[in-house]
Every structure is written in C-alpha cells, then in structure tokens.
C-alpha cells in the first residue's frame, strides 16, 4: 500500500516551530544529520545568495516525516531558457540524504514528491538531485541515465583486525611506512576529537595541514576561499553541536602530520577530507592515517562502516567495497520540459552508441 503523504511548500525561511520539528526529525534519524536545518541554512546563506529557495515538508498523520529543500535556477540551452529545480546539497558535502527518507520506501517518497511538484508549483521544466545515499535503489525510471558516481567504503563491524579489510600486500607496505615515520619523526599518536570544545582547534590544524601541499599551490585548499572556509567552520560547528563531528589528527611526536575531517551518519563514519603534511608525502602519511583510522574504528562502539565520499584513484588501491550513488530526474509536463526530455534522450542514445562502437573490436 502506498504511503499517504501530505506536502506543504513554503518559499521563505521556515518559522521556528517548523525548524524545531525538522531538527527533531534529524535527531530521531541518525542518517539524516547532514540534512538538518543548520546544514541547509549554511549552504544557502553562503553559496546560494540571491537564489529563491523552497522547502517541501511531508506529513503523515499530521507528523512531519520528511523535508526536501531545493532552489530554482535558469539555464540557457540552445537559446531556450530552462527553469531547473535542484536539491540543496553543495559539492563540498558530496553526498545527499533526504531528511527522514529511511522511514519510508524511497521510490514512493520520490513519486509522491514529484507528483506534488507537478501539480502545485508552476514555472519549472526539470528537476534533478545527485549523490543520493539510500538503502534501496532509486527506480530506473527516475534515475539519470549514464549517471555513474560511486563512493568507496570498508565494513569494519564484521572484522576483528585490519588484515580482514586491507589486502596483505598493501597492509605490509603501509605498516612499513608507518614504522619509517615513527623512526624518523617520533612516535605516532592518532587523536579523534568528538567534543564541541575541541573541534575548533582541531579544524584549524586540519586546514593548516591541507594548506601545506599541492591544494594550496593550485588554489583549491579550504583556506584559499573565504566562503569555503566559512562553510567548513560553520558546518562542522553544526555537526559538533549534534555530536556528529569527528576530526582525526595524526601526530608524530608533537607535530601534526595528517588529518581527516569526518562526520558520523548513524553507524557510518564519513572520511570527508584527508590531508597530510606535504613534506611527508613521500612517506605515505595519508595512507598511514587511513590504516590507523580503520584500526581505531574496529574498537569504536557503534561504527559499522568507514566511508569515503568518492572512489578516487588512490582509494582504489585499497580495494574497498563500492556503493553506487543514486540520482533523481524528472521532466515537467511543459513544452520546454518535454522538448528537453527529447533532447536528453537523443544525446544519451548517441553517447551509448559511441561507447558501444568504441568497445567493439574492429
């Protein structure tokens, strides 16, 4: 039987009673911590200045059960102005969880939401969401074709040692590097701050570590952009207030040499960013950090999974498990929406044909 959702749409900052309900929803659903009001508020205030923001609240039996914030933007496609609805999840968070989604069948929730938008909001042609994490797969009818973004993860709950998670060859190599750092730079000590009182100092250490290397030279480190730095400071303050912030700092003696900016999603720990002292890159300080975090998680209560936000080349060397992220798209029943649907369909068919011809032996 399909869940009977009632939706409410508002186009201004929610009143405090709604914010309190939203916050309670996030607290009652640990996997929704990155979808709380403070996180979305930080995103919109820093990165979406001047955008029109919508908040869709779903209710069942008069109780708030889901929140989907989104904004509208316009894009010119072949001289046509297309109005696009997009969920608010900035690239700096990488993954997206709908607040309250784990309470319901994800596809029933999505269909109800899209149907509500179609009949209750005018002036849009296309809706999309990316990087969605959910237990069940989003229906292929709502997935973006050719969308293929992955994240890597390790299951730690079913193992008693790192040897059950990391390949024998890689574990041996990283352990050798670990011993080399300890021998040359001093004894290693991994610290993990979870308290609100510690996060500011540890976040500062992490930002300095990240700014010591190639990211700073290429102007992509956190401290190269004041808006991005404000985003991280405010976001991790919000995570810390929820008890979800985890910042790992690896010390050699008294010197910080590597760190991970992380947060908890239920029983998962997301290693959101990893940084290391540039002068120790040849020692594999980042790899040593990951190994020690895995070993620490094996003894940490309530942690089942260690997650990366991506499936980058360096992560692939660890032979992790892979999760394919979900996406959502919907073409509205407007002239431009229907035209866009046809154009996307032709483009994607051509892309598939091109890939097929590239793979077919001559």
Q: What is the pLDDT of residues 13-49, one digit of tens each?
A: 999 999 999 999 988 887 777 888 888 888 788 888 8
**Dihedral angle, C-alpha 179, 180, 183, 186, nearest 10 °:** -80
CATH of domain 6-142+332-359: 3.40.630
Q: What is the pLDDT of residues 98-150, one digit of tens each?
A: 998 888 899 999 999 999 999 999 999 999 999 998 888 999 889 998 888 99
**Dihedral angle, C-alpha 209, 211, 212, 217, nearest 10 °:** 160
Cα dist. 246→144, 192, 242 in Å? 33, 6, 11
Q: What is the pLDDT of residue 194?
A: 81
Same fold, 6-142+332-359 and 152-323: yes
Where does residue 28 rank: exposed (0-12), middle (13-18), buried (19+ CB within 10 A)? exposed
In the predicted model, is pLDDT for residue 5 greater than 90?
yes
Per-residue pLDDT averaged across 304-321, rounded? 91
In degrees, to the nearest 5, what angle opens at C-alpha 269 toward C-alphas 137 and 275?
A: 115
Q: What is the pLDDT of residue 150?
A: 92
CB 58 within 8 A of CB 114: no
In the predicted model, is pLDDT for residue 217 greater than 90?
no
User: For residue 2, what are the β-bridge partners?
Assistant: none
Secondary structure of residue 330 in the 3-state scheme: strand
In the predicted model, is pLDDT for residue 308 greater than 80?
yes
May I ask the CATH class of domain 152-323?
Answer: alpha beta
Adjacency order of strands within the sheet including 188-193: 188-193, 245-252, 255-265, 268-276, 305-308, 150-155, 321-324
Q: What is the pLDDT of residues 237-261, one digit of tens each?
A: 988 988 889 999 999 999 999 999 9
Higher-confidence residue of 214 and 327: namely: 327
List the chain domain ranges. Answer: 6-142+332-359, 152-323
Phi then psi dihedrals of residue 99, to 5 deg: -60, 120
Phi then psi dihedrals of residue 296, to 5 deg: -65, -40
Confidence band for 361, pLDDT divided at 50, 70 and 90: low
Around 155, how many Cα atoms within 13 Å sit in the side-chain half-sphere? 7
Confidence band for 1, pLDDT divided at 50, 70 and 90: very low
Per-residue pLDDT averaged across 198-217, rounded? 89
Per-residue pLDDT averaged across 254-269, rounded? 93
**Dihedral angle, C-alpha 238, 243, 244, 247, nearest 10 °:** 90
In the predicted model, is pLDDT for residue 79 greater than 90?
no
Q: What would you measure as the largest C-alpha separation in the chain, in angstroms?
A: 68
Phi then psi dihedrals of residue 137, to 5 deg: -75, 140
Q: What is the pLDDT of residues 167-187, one digit of tens each?
A: 999 999 999 999 999 999 999
- 321 DSSP 8-state letter: E
């Amino acid at each position: 039987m399909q869940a009977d959702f009632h939706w409410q749409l508002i186009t201004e900052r929610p009143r405090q009673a709604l914010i309190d309900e939203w916050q309670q929803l996030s607290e009652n659903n640990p996997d929704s911590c990155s979808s709380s009001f403070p996180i979305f508020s930080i995103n919109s205030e820093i990165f979406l200045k001047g955008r029109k923001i919508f908040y869709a609240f779903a209710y069942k039996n008069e109780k708030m059960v889901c929140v989907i914030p989104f904004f509208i933007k316009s894009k010119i496609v072949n001289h046509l102005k297309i109005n696009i609805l997009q969920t608010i999840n900035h690239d700096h968070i990488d993954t997206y969880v709908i607040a309250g989604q784990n309470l319901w069948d994800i596809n029933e929730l999505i269909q109800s939401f899209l149907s509500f938008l179609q009949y209750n909001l005018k002036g849009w042609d296309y809706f999309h969401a990316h990087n969605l994490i959910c237990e069940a797969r989003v229906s292929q009818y709502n997935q973006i074709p050719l969308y293929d973004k992955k994240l890597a993860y390790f299951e730690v709950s079913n193992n008693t040692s790192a040897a059950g998670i990391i390949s024998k060859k890689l574990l041996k190599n990283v352990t050798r590097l670990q011993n080399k750092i300890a021998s040359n730079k001093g004894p290693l000590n991994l610290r993990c701050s979870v308290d609100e009182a510690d996060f500011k100092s540890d976040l500062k250490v992490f930002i300095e570590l990240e700014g010591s290397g190639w990211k700073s030279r290429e102007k992509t480190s956190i401290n190269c952009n004041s808006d991005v730095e404000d985003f991280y400071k405010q976001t991790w303050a919000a995570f810390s207030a929820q008890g979800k912030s985890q910042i790992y700092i690896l010390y050699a003696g008294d010197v910080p040499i590597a760190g991970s900016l992380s947060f908890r999603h239920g029983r998962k720990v997301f290693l959101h960013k990893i940084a290391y002292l540039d002068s120790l890159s040849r020692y594999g300080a980042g790899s040593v950090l990951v190994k020690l975090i895995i070993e620490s998680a094996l003894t940490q209560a309530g942690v089942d999974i260690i997650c990366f936000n991506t499936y980058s080349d360096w992560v692939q060397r660890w032979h992790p498990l892979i999760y394919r992220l979900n996406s959502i798209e919907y073409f509205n029943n407007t002239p431009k929406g229907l035209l866009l649907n046809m154009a996307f369909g032709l483009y994607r068919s051509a892309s598939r044909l091109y890939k097929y011809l590239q793979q077919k032996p001559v």
